Structure 1
Amino acid sequence: MLVSHSTGWKNPIKGNYRAIFVVGFEPEKPIFTIPEVNQNLNKLKLPDTVLFDRSSRSEYGSIAAEFERKKQVVTEISNYRIKTVGLFTLGPSFAADGTVVTSDQNFLRLFKNRRRGEINIGLINLKSGVDKQKVIDNLAAKLPKDVRLLTYQGFINFEEDYWRTSTAIGFMFALGTSMGFIVGIVIVYQILFTDVNEHLAEYATLKAMGFTDNYLLNIVFQEALILAILGYIPGLGISLGLYELTKAATSLPMFMSASCSILVFIMTILMCSISGAIAVRKLRTADPADIF
C-alpha cells in the first residue's frame, strides 16, 4: 500500500487548496474492510479516479453533495486532474482532515517522484493457526533494519503511542489531565478544610470523648467520597456533551469508553482522598483543651 499525506486537494467550488491524505493500493488485492471501497474497486482501475471520504472536513468542498447530484466530481490533486467516482465513510484524524483512496497506478501518476517499490505500509495476510511472532522473527532476520514489523494490534498500539508521546497534542492532553488533577485536589481541599474548620468544636468534642484520629479521618474521607460521587456524575454528563460538541465541530471520532470513564472515576476518588488526607491534618494537631 502506498500512502502520502502531503499533497494539495483543490476545492472545486472555491478553488483553494488544502492538504489531503492519499492512499493508494492494488485494486486486485483489496485490503480495506470498508464496504463502499470494495464496491468501487473496478472504478479505481480506470485512469485518474479516486474515492472521496464523505466525512472529510467541509473545507474540501461539498464533494458528497456534488457527487450525489452529478455522479462525478472533477477537480485537481497536486495540479493533476482527477475524477471522484465514489464515496466512502472514514472521518478525519489528527494526521489528516480528509482522505481519498485510489489505485496504485493512479497514485504513481499523482506522485511522479515515487517509484512503485517505495511503499509506506505493507500488509501480509497469514493463514489461520500460523504463529505470528515466529513469522515476524523470520522476516526481521531477512529484512533491512529500517523496516518495522507489527501485528494488527501492534500497529494500533504504535499509532496510539506515537500520538500520545511524540506529538504536541499528546503532551497537551497529558498536561491538561495533570493540571485538572492538581486543581481538583486544591478545590476539594478548600471545601473539606472549610468544613473541618467550621465544625472544629464538634470534632474536638468527639476527640475529647475518646474517638481516635483514625475515626475522625474516616469521617472526612466519607465526605471526600460523597464529593467525588456528586462531582463525577454531572462531570460525566458535561464531558459527554463536550465530546459531542467537539465531534460536531471537528468531525473527529470522539467517544467516551467505559474503561476511560471508570479510570476517571477512580482518579476522582483518589483526588478527593488526597484532599481529605491533607485537610484532616488540622484535626490531628487540634487539642480539645485549646479549642474550648
Structure 2
Amino acid sequence: MTEALLERVRLRMPLGWRQLRHNPNRLFVALGGVAFANVLIFLQLGVMGALFESAVTPLRTLKADILLMSPDARAIGQLGSMSRRRLYQALGVDGVAAASTLQVGTIEIRSPTSIQQASVMVFGVDPEFDGFTRADISAQRSLLRTADVALLDRLTRSSLRPMVDAITIGGVAKAELQGRTVTLAGLFSLGASFQNDGTMIVSDQTFLRLFPRNSAAAINAVLVQTAPGANVAEVAARLRAALPASDTQVMTADAYAEFIKDFMRTNTPIGFVFTFGVVIGTLIGFAIVYQILSADVNDHIREYATFRAMGFHQRYLLGVVFEEALLLAVLGFVPGVVLSLGFNAILSAGTELAMTMPAMRIAFVFGLTFAMCAASGAIATRRLKAADPADVF
C-alpha cells in the first residue's frame, strides 16, 4: 500500500508548484512572509529559552543530587531561609553521603576603571566541601580558605572585564564590596543571566562578612550528595519524611531546574510576553499565506472550474491548494532558520546570553509553520466551492 501511494505521488503532476512558480513576485512575497513569521517565532522562543537556561545554569554547576530549601524558594536568587539544623538532620538520613550549606546573595560591584556598577550573584560555600561540578572551580577551592578572597566569573558582562583582565594578567584584582576590600584571586566560567551580570564565589565566612544581616544559623539551602548506587528519589523521600515540611522543601536537582523554568513561564511576565510574541508571529504568517493562497485560487478559478468539468474530484483540487501550502511552509522555513541563526548570534553578542537553537525547537517551529500554512490553505479552499463550470462560464 505504501509503495502504491509513493507511486501515485511520483506520477502526480506538481500542479501546486507550477501555480506558485507562475507568479514569481507573489511567490517571493509569500516566502518572505513565511520566513518573517519564522524569524519572529524563533527569536521569541530563543530569547525565552536563553532566559530560562541562564536561570538554571548556576544550579547545574552545583554538585548536588538533592537540595533542601525553604518552602518559599523560587529561583536561585530567591531561596528564602531555613535553619542550619536541617543540615545536621539530613546527614543522619540513610543514603546521604555528604551535605553542606549554600548561601546566595546579590551584591553590587564596580571596576576601579569604570563608573558603571554590575549586579553579581554571590555563592557562599564551605571551602572544604566539593560542591561544584566544574573542575576550574573545584581546583581553586583552597583559595577561599583565606578571608575576603573570591573567585570571579570570567564571562561576567563587559563592565567588569577590566577586573577579569587584571586577574588573567597579574593573578589577582581588588574590589571594594560593602566597605571591605575583597581579593579576586581566581577565575571560572559560568556566564551572565537575565537577573545578574555575573557570579562570584566566596567562603561561607566571607559571605557573612559581605552580608552582615545574614546569620550563620539561617542558611539559604543545603546541598545533598547521595551515596554511590543510592536511588536519588528514595533518598529524597526519606528526607521528606525526616524533615518538617513546614520549613523545609526537598527537591532533586533536576526537579528544581524544571520548577524554576515552570515558575518563570507561568508566574512572571517573561513567559506571557514571549508566548504572546509566538502567537503574534503565527498569526502574521497565517494572514500572509492565506492572502497569497486565496488570491491564487481566485485568479485560477476558471482553471479549477475546467478541472471540475473534466471530472476531477473536489479532493484533487483541495490537494493542489494544500500542495501549495506545504511548499510555502518548506521553502519559507529554510531562509527563516538561516536568518534566525544570524540574529541569534547578534543577540548573543549584545546580551551575552547563550542563544542556542536546539533540534527540538527547530522541529517545533517547522510543525507550527506547517500547521499555519495548512490552516491557511484549508480556509482558502472555501473559494473552490465557487469553481462550478455552470456559474463560471
- Normalising by structure 1, what TM-score? 0.95
**What corresponds to 2:251 in structure 1?**
150
Selected match of 1:124 from 216, 224, 229: 224
**What corresponds to 2:106 in structure 1?**
6
Write out aligned runs for 1:182-193 (5 A): 182-193=283-294
Q: 1:280 to 1:5 in 2, by over 3 A?
A: farther
**What corresponds to 2:147 in structure 1?**
47
**What corresponds to 1:201 in structure 2?**
302
State the distance in 2 between where 1:118 and 1:187 align. 58
**What corresponds to 1:235 in structure 2?**
336
State the distance in 2 between where 1:120 and 1:95 align. 18
State the distance in 2 between where 1:57 and 1:100 align. 13
1:29 aligns with 2:129: yes
The letter of the residue matching 1:131 is: N
Task: Judge which range, 199-208 or 57-66, deviates more.
Answer: 57-66
Instruction: Look up the SS of the partner of 2:201 in the other structure.
Output: strand
The letter of the residue matching 2:144 is: L
Q: How many residues in Structure 1 have an aligned counterpart in Structure 2?
A: 292
* Aligned sequence identity (%): 40
1:56 aligns with 2:151: no
On the 8 A contact 1:2/1:118 being kept in 2, the answer is no
Selected match of 1:252 from 338, 353, 366: 353
After superposition, the C-alpha distances for 1:139-177 in whole angstroms (9 at most, x for unaligned) are 223323343222121122112212222222222211111
State the distance in 2 between where 1:26 and 1:220 align. 66
Q: 1:222 to 1:117 in 2, by over 3 A?
A: farther
On the 8 A contact 2:175/2:182 being kept in 1, the answer is yes
State the distance in 1 between where 2:383 and 2:116 align. 65
State the distance in 2 between where 1:224 and 1:254 align. 30
State the distance in 2 between where 1:13 and 1:213 align. 74
State the distance in 1 between where 2:269 and 2:177 align. 29
Instruction: Look up the SS of the partner of 1:171 in the other structure.
Output: helix
Aligned-residue RMSD, C-alpha: 1.6
TM-superposed CA distance for 1:281, in Å, is 0.6
State the distance in 2 between where 1:97 and 1:39 align. 24
* 5+ long unaligned stretches in structure 1: none
Task: Judge which range, 106-115 or 2-11, deviates more.
Answer: 2-11
Instruction: Look up the SS of the partner of 2:191 in the other structure.
Output: coil
After superposition, the C-alpha distances for 1:203-230 in whole angstroms (9 at most, x for unaligned) are 1111222222222111111110100001
1:107 aligns with 2:207: yes
Instruction: Look up the SS of the partner of 2:121 in the other structure.
Output: strand
The letter of the residue matching 1:78 is: Q
State the distance in 2 between where 1:182 and 1:148 align. 42
TM-superposed CA distance for 1:89, in Å, is 0.7
* 5+ long unaligned stretches in structure 2: 1-100
On the 8 A contact 1:53/1:89 being kept in 2, the answer is yes
On the 8 A contact 2:122/2:199 being kept in 1, the answer is yes
State the distance in 1 between where 2:105 and 2:307 align. 68
State the distance in 2 between where 1:79 and 1:279 align. 69
Higher relative contact order (CA 8 A, sep 6+): 2
**What corresponds to 1:271 in structure 2?**
372
State the distance in 1 between where 2:353 and 2:145 align. 30
TM-superposed CA distance for 1:129, in Å, is 3.1
State the distance in 1 between where 2:168 and 2:346 align. 27
State the distance in 1 between where 2:105 and 2:196 align. 7
**What corresponds to 1:138 in structure 2?**
238
